[in-house]
Structure 1
Amino acid sequence: MRRRPLARPVVRPAGAPLLRGALVGGVAYAAGRSAAKASRREQDQEQAIADLQYQQASQAPPRTAPVAPPPQAPAAPPSGGQAAGGLTEQLAQLGELARQGVLTPEEFAVAKARLLGG
């Protein structure tokens, strides 16, 4: 008869469960700390945004309906001796006032017609 060799039992170190527990606990602690940092960072950002909004609201003038300046009277029609350069300048000024919104398109058309003598 042949004898079978005795199977050696697997021997685990006595500290393995303790090391495994420490490893799992350490990872969980690190993950929790990371989540807490992210949460704190988000709270800080929200607080900073709220502070900026408060500062802007307190510095902004009260909102009222914009008051349009009174329409300017169109320039006087050119006299007979006025050079063509003066007429061009006046038309350019009227065009600029219309672009800025000071004159409505109708007011611009009337003023242009007066300048051109029509």
Structure 2
Amino acid sequence: MFWTTAALLVTLAVAGVSTSHKSGEITDIDVNSPEVKDALNFAVDEFNRQNDVYIYKVVKVIKATSQVVSGIMYRFEVEMSISGCKPSPQEICAKDNSELKPYTCNFEVWSQPWLGPPKFMRNVCKH
């Protein structure tokens, strides 16, 4: 129990989440924090692994929050754009992708560093 609590406190300190927030409370977070960037990059990489036509990139972070729930649940609402590049060793790119519409995506990443790598929990995208 001590090590679990200690690991959670260290995770909160590293993630820049204030321990004055109540457990379960959803808090806005700084998207420039290294841990938050890592969580978002993980979500985008996982999303791109599931899509085999084009590679998507984040154009804008609309909202980013975290919630302490036996770890940290990161939630992102982002505007994504199709890069026009296809996933391949040569990364073949279309010359004109101006007609490709952006998506708004909601991602959830659950981080429990003491149990292993993060988990991609949810992705919902719409035009």
Q: TM-score, normalised by structure 2?
A: 0.19
Larger Rg: 1
Q: Which has more strand, going by share of residues?
A: 2
Q: Which has more helix, going by share of residues?
A: 1
